[in-house]
Amino acid sequence: MPSQNDYAPKHAKRPTPRRDNPALGENSAPRTRTSSGSRSRRPSGGRSAVPLLVILAIVLVALAIPIATGAFSAGGPEDQGKDEAAVSSAAGGDSDQGAQPNVQSEPVTINLMMVGDILQHTRVYQSGLQADGSYNFDHVYAHMASAMEGQDIKVLNQETPLGGASLGYSGYPAFNGPQEMGDAEVKAGFNVVLKATNHAMDRGYDGIHNEQEYWKAKHPDIAVLGEIDPLSDNPGSLDDVYIYEKDGFKVALLNYTYGLNGFADPKGAVAQLDEDRIKRNVQSARDQGADIVVAFPHWGIEYQTTASDDQRKWAEVFRKAGVDVIIGGHPHILEPVEVLSGDDGHQTLCYWSVGNFICTQSDDSMIGGMAKVQLRKESDGTAHVVSYSLDPLVINKGAGRNMTTYLASDWTSQMATSSAVPTLTPAHVDSFCSRVLGSGYDSSTHQLKGTMDGAGQDDGGDEALPDAA
């Protein structure tokens, strides 16, 4: 088999070989359907005439179609009844759709949140095993409900494949987990799943096919980004751009990874970082009327609390292309939040890494983050980032239902003492977050808050974690 470096993208740094290392824990459009109403029958023996009132009624009904709709440019429409706003995907839409801003009488707000890496290490997927042999992972997300209230776009990074039982379950280094993890994610309220990760090809195209078929069959209203199924009769395209729409406010979401752990992807199933693709996708989003573009890159150096040169290079590619918000993952640890700007005047909010959400790693990799961004489209059609925050999370890697994640604001000294990592005290969590996130982190509220004028942005994170043995 070729070495990992044979397939390493030339533009990305290869992280340390301790990728998800056990020494660090255990691990490590849709086409719019028109309803066909019944035909009017011509009265027997009379002339055919449609009363004016009927015509007016039809026109009024047509105008009353909800504004919140969406479509995949490469597929057909799906009912999106789960959310207030419809969710959509689009690729290669008409360029004149985005030529004029969609002006509405009242401002519209979209709240977006994201949590980091879902790593189904062996003990993580074993924690969901029930007495009857089935799996249930509701406990993993049991403490997130209050933090997710009021959020419109709810994103998680499903880093490892959900290839299901037919491929056999496994942890590090080539992951595959129960699809019931996806059921728990949906039940918790997540509606966007990221799949462009370095573990996407761990079980090859069969793993991708099984997972994509699962999402399509069981949760067709969930947006699955960054990956297509080359074994499907209708795989779509990696250039399909997903757009979430609420009351005429459109937010495009993009997902890419730095690489695939050396696995080849000749069929092009996973979206990898590529400057031309990024520019093309952002332009496609704008052409289809996207007011805001958000990118979720899988990038960086594992266990390092500062942004790498490679991350900064790609962040500038995103910023110059017109991306408004970047929320990164992969380093398995928190990294700072910054507002990036350039000579062209365009500003981009950047979360370098939100760390892990669930795993069995160790030390400060057990501290993740929940990113929240408030977006607004004004009545004049302009759209912008209003504010942002980061709520630290603490992973409790216990057995069974104790394999779960808490908000740092709910984490107590007693919990730490009885956990698998007793040194992970509230004081330690606050100290770590203050060091990484800078002076914008408030230890009294356990939260980083900021606005695009720079308040609360990074002035910390000046060190990397020591390598684990």
Q: How confident is the model at residue 96 (pLDDT cuts 50, 70, 90)?
A: very low
Which of 70, 464, 434 lies closest to 250, judged by CA? Answer: 70
- The C-alpha atoms of residue 254 and residue 337 are separated, in whole angstroms, by 19
Strand spans (E) along 410-465: 441-442, 447-450
CB-facing half-sphere around the CA of 82: CA atoms within 13 A: 18
Q: What is the pLDDT of residues 304-352, one digit of tens each?
A: 999 999 999 999 999 999 999 999 999 999 999 999 999 999 999 999 9
Q: Residue 49 has which token pair?
A: 């005439």
CB environment 224-243: b (16+ within 10 A), e (fewer): bbbbbbebeeebbebebbbb
Q: How confident is the model at residue 454 (pLDDT cuts 50, 70, 90)?
A: low
Q: Residue 343 has which token pair?
A: 């000579």
Q: At what angle do helices 309-321 and 275-287 cross, to 10 degrees?
A: 30
Does the pLDDT value for residue 70 go beyond 80?
no
Q: What is the pLDDT of residues 250-300, one digit of tens each?
A: 999 999 999 999 999 999 999 999 999 999 999 999 999 999 999 999 999
Given this model, what pLDDT does residue 105 score?
79
Does the pLDDT value for residue 204 go beyond 70?
yes
Does the pLDDT value for residue 79 go beyond 80?
no
Given this model, what pLDDT does residue 212 score?
98
- The C-alpha atoms of residue 396 and residue 377 are separated, in whole angstroms, by 39
Contact 201, 260 (CB under 8 A): yes
Q: Residue 11 has which token pair?
A: 């533009």
Which of 354, 290, 307 lies closest to 327, judged by CA? Answer: 354
Which of 277, 273, 334, 367 lies closest to 464, judged by CA? Answer: 334
Given this model, what pLDDT does residue 458 score?
52
**Which value, in Å, is the radius of gyration of the alpha carbons in the chain?**
23
Q: What is the pLDDT of residues 52-67, one digit of tens each?
A: 444 445 444 444 444 3
Question: What is the DSSP secondary structure assignment for residue 402, as one 8-state letter?
Answer: G
Does the pLDDT value for residue 377 go beyond 80?
yes
Lowest mean per-residue pLDDT among 208-212, 413-417, 425-429, 459-463: 459-463
Given this model, what pLDDT does residue 247 score?
97
Does the pLDDT value for residue 137 go beyond 80?
yes
Q: How confident is the model at residue 452 (pLDDT cuts 50, 70, 90)?
A: confident
Would you call 390 exposed, middle or buried from its count of C-beta atoms within 10 A (0-12, 13-18, 19+)?
Answer: buried
Does the pLDDT value for residue 462 go beyond 50?
no
- The C-alpha atoms of residue 333 and residue 426 are separated, in whole angstroms, by 17
User: What percentage of the chain exceeds 70 in pLDDT?
Assistant: 74
User: What percentage of the chain exceeds 90 in pLDDT?
Assistant: 74
Given this model, what pLDDT does residue 100 score?
53
Contact 380, 138 (CB under 8 A): no
Contact 18, 302 (CB under 8 A): yes
Q: How confident is the model at residue 31 (pLDDT cuts 50, 70, 90)?
A: very low
The C-alpha torsion from 264 through 260 and 221 to 332, rounded to 10°, is 170
Chain-centre distance of CA 451, in angstroms?
Answer: 21
Q: How far apart are the first and last CA of the chain?
A: 27
Q: What is the mean pLDDT of the chain?
A: 83
Residues 413-421, mean pLDDT to the nearest whole number: 94
Which residue's structure tokens are 């055919």?
Answer: 48
- The C-alpha atoms of residue 456 and residue 463 are separated, in whole angstroms, by 19
Does the pLDDT value for residue 26 go beyond 60?
no
Which residue's structure tokens are 């795989």?
Answer: 235
- What are the phi and psi torsion angles at 62 (to 5°)? -60, -40
Strand spans (E) along 145-212: 153-157, 192-194
Q: What is the pLDDT of residues 7-24, one digit of tens each?
A: 333 333 333 334 454 434
- Dihedral-angle region of residue 230 (phi above 0 means left; psi in -120 to 50 means alpha; beta otherwise): alpha
Which residue's structure tokens are 């684990």?
Answer: 468
Does the pLDDT value for residue 431 go beyond 50?
yes
Given this model, what pLDDT does residue 460 score?
55
Q: What is the pLDDT of residues 223-248, one digit of tens each?
A: 999 999 999 999 999 999 999 999 99
Does the pLDDT value for residue 163 go beyond 80?
yes
- The C-alpha atoms of residue 219 and residue 237 are separated, in whole angstroms, by 20
Does the pLDDT value for residue 133 go beyond 70?
yes
Q: In the sheet that 348-351 helps form, which strands lie side by side, from edge to edge?
A: 87-90, 241-246, 249-257, 292-298, 325-327, 348-351, 337-340
- Could you say which of 3.10.20.30, 3.90.550.10, 1.10.357.10, 3.60.21.10 is the CATH number of the domain covering 85-412? 3.60.21.10
The structural domains of the chain, with segments of one domain joined by +, span 85-412
Residue 234: what residue type? N
Q: Residue 97 has which token pair?
A: 């759709």
pTM of the model: 0.80
- What are the phi and psi torsion angles at 138 (to 5°)? -60, -30
**Cα angle, residue 114 at apex, residues 108 and 119 outer, rounded to 5°:** 160
Does the pLDDT value for residue 150 go beyond 50?
yes
Does the pLDDT value for residue 395 go beyond 70?
yes
Residues 134-153, mean pLDDT to the nearest whole number: 98
- Max Cα distance, the chain (Å): 92
Residues 359-385, mean pLDDT to the nearest whole number: 97
